[in-house]
Chains A and B, each alone.
Chain A
Amino acid sequence: MTENQMTAWKAFRGGLWDEIPVLRLMLGLCPTMAVTTSVKGGLTMGLSVVFVLICSNVVVSMMRNLLKPHLRIMMFTLTIAAFVTIADMYLKAFQPVMSEKLGAYIPLIIVNCIIICRSEACAAKNGIWVSAVDGLAMGLGFTIVLCFLASIREILSTGCITFSETAVWTVLNPVDKGGWFTPWAAMAMPVGAFITLGLTLGAVNQLTKKKA
């Protein structure tokens, strides 16, 4: 039992720092760059991924002894597709605005490499409990990275973080509201996505190199 808890703890820490999805494993880049124009979009995406990751990890872990090797990727993707459909329908019903904004990127969670990587590397080898913790930690790690990148981009491109019409947190006072900060439009465009991610990766490399 203690050993089991150890591995669960290891999985938890792994997801949040040692193997934090986007920055260390270099997986799941497409949604990372596409949805990080706003923090709210990043958060919605991250939480959907948490849900899909936990569910698919648990299901894959339950059927791990029944899988034939050459069919396993197929079974993984089908499991994931089923849960993504659920998440997509939930968002369409309860968060229609967000669902509209994220558009094709919610169904694209199916081909998010992180999820299939966790099915293969963790859920197909471990018990249900460890897999669920791993899913939670990896999902949270992904959400944190998304929110971090999104806050950089949203602050630089608009000067404030907008959660809704009323909840706007102004960080840099933009010019059109009488402030001094000229919004940096490029940050909301693809250029901003690529360059922010590239520099963040560089910074993480630099930090971890010093520690080692």
Chain B
Amino acid sequence: MNFAVSLALGFISIVLINNFVFTKFLGSCPYLGVSGRLDMAFGMGMAVTFVTTLAGAMTWLIDHLFLNGTPLEVTRYVCYILVIAGAVQLVEMYLRKFFPSLYEAFGIFLPLITTNCVILGLCIFLNLWQIDNFLMAVVLSFGAGMGFTMAICIMAGIRENLAMADIPECLQGAPITLITAGLLTLAFMGFAGMIK
């Protein structure tokens, strides 16, 4: 029972309090690039969630089965990036087969998930935080992906309305998105100190 509670707390904390986009700035590039339309943002978020969950679980296993405490530790980052690239390839193949329209819409951003910092960032943070339980690692990975999805969907919703607003010419596009994101982080800081 206690363990279930700590899992739930971990999930809430990584989605709301330690949200990767708002507090760790990870995944800013797709956050600005793909947040133009709500449906694409949601698709992107789902793809990232899938890859983070897979990559988080696999890198945790690799860490604990092969790398920890052996001289092979120096190859950690190389291993991580290989696992992530493989997982992204899997998602790419799946989307091309079953959701061709979504596949077309993503274009270059899909292979770029490989270099999405949320995923590698999560793998590295799992290592830094010394998560020693497999289930916890999976829950945190899933939570990080959900946090990213939530952030990018909120942003896409705002940007769809922002398109109608009268913005000074020099601030159009990325600058105003960044400023909006800044205000959003202020709102999310309200969650800080809720747990842990």
Distance in angstroms from B134 CB to nearest chain A CB is: 21
Contact yes or no, A194 B179, CB < 8 A: yes
Contact yes or no, A191 B81, CB < 8 A: no
> In this complex, what residue of B is CB-closest to A205?
B170
B54 at the interface (CB under 8 A from A): no
> In this complex, what residue of A is CB-closest to B119?
A111
Indicate the size class of the contact surface on chain B.
Answer: 35 or more
Set of chain A residues within 8 Å of B77, measured between Cβ atoms: 81, 84-85, 88, 107, 110
Contact yes or no, A190 B25, CB < 8 A: yes
Contact yes or no, B189 A189, CB < 8 A: yes
B52 at the interface (CB under 8 A from A): no
In whole angstroms, how far apart are the Cα atoms of A132 and B111 in the complex?
Answer: 26
In whole angstroms, how far apart are the Cα atoms of A22 and B189 in the complex?
Answer: 26
Q: Which of B78, B124, B178 is the one whose CB lies under 8 Å from A108?
A: B124
B154 at the interface (CB under 8 A from A): no
B74 at the interface (CB under 8 A from A): yes
Contact yes or no, A201 B115, CB < 8 A: no
Contact yes or no, A195 B182, CB < 8 A: yes
B68 at the interface (CB under 8 A from A): no
Contact yes or no, A30 B22, CB < 8 A: no
A82 at the interface (CB under 8 A from B): yes
Contact yes or no, B111 A73, CB < 8 A: yes
Q: Which of B25, B76, B117 is the one whose CB lies under 8 Å from A193?
A: B25
> In this complex, what residue of B is CB-closest to A208?
B170
> In this complex, what residue of B is CB-closest to A89?
B74
B96 at the interface (CB under 8 A from A): no
Q: Which of A112, A190, A192, A201 is the one whose CB lies under 8 Å from B174?
A: A201
Set of chain B residues within 8 Å of A26, measured between Cβ atoms: 29, 32, 174
Which residues, 103 to 136 on A, are CB-close (under 8 Å) to B? 103-104, 107-108, 110-113, 116
In whole angstroms, how far apart are the Cα atoms of A84 and B117 in the complex?
Answer: 15
Distance in angstroms from B76 CB to nearest chain A CB is: 8
Residue among A194, A203, A209 with max Cβ neighbours from chain B (10 Å): A194
B8 at the interface (CB under 8 A from A): no
Contact yes or no, A190 B23, CB < 8 A: yes
Q: Which of B81, B125, B169 is the one whose CB lies under 8 Å from A110?
A: B81
B47 at the interface (CB under 8 A from A): no
Distance in angstroms from A99 CB to nearest chain B CB is: 12
Which residues, 24 to 39 on B, are CB-close (under 8 Å) to A? 24-29, 32
Distance in angstroms from B144 CB to nearest chain A CB is: 13
Contact yes or no, A27 B170, CB < 8 A: no
In whole angstroms, how far apart are the Cα atoms of A73 and B169 in the complex?
Answer: 36
A62 at the interface (CB under 8 A from B): no
Distance in angstroms from A198 CB to nearest chain B CB is: 3
In whole angstroms, how far apart are the Cα atoms of A110 and B25 in the complex?
Answer: 15
Contact yes or no, A77 B115, CB < 8 A: yes
Set of chain B residues within 8 Å of A103, measured between Cβ atoms: 128
Q: Shortest 5 CB-CB distances between A and B: which pairs?
A: A194-B182, A198-B178, A206-B170, A29-B28, A198-B179
Please name 15 pairs of A and B residues whose Cβ atoms are closer than 8 Å in the assembled complex, sorted by A.
A26-B174, A30-B28, A73-B85, A81-B80, A81-B81, A85-B78, A194-B185, A198-B171, A198-B175, A198-B176, A201-B174, A201-B175, A201-B178, A205-B170, A209-B169
Task: Report which A residues bind B (CB closer than 8 A).
Answer: 26-27, 29-31, 33-34, 73-74, 77-78, 81-82, 84-85, 88-89, 103-104, 107-108, 110-113, 116, 186, 189-195, 197-199, 201-203, 205-206, 209
Task: Report which B residues bind A (CB closer than 8 A).
Answer: 22-29, 32, 74-78, 80-82, 85, 111-112, 114-117, 119-121, 124-125, 128, 168-171, 174-179, 181-183, 185-186, 189
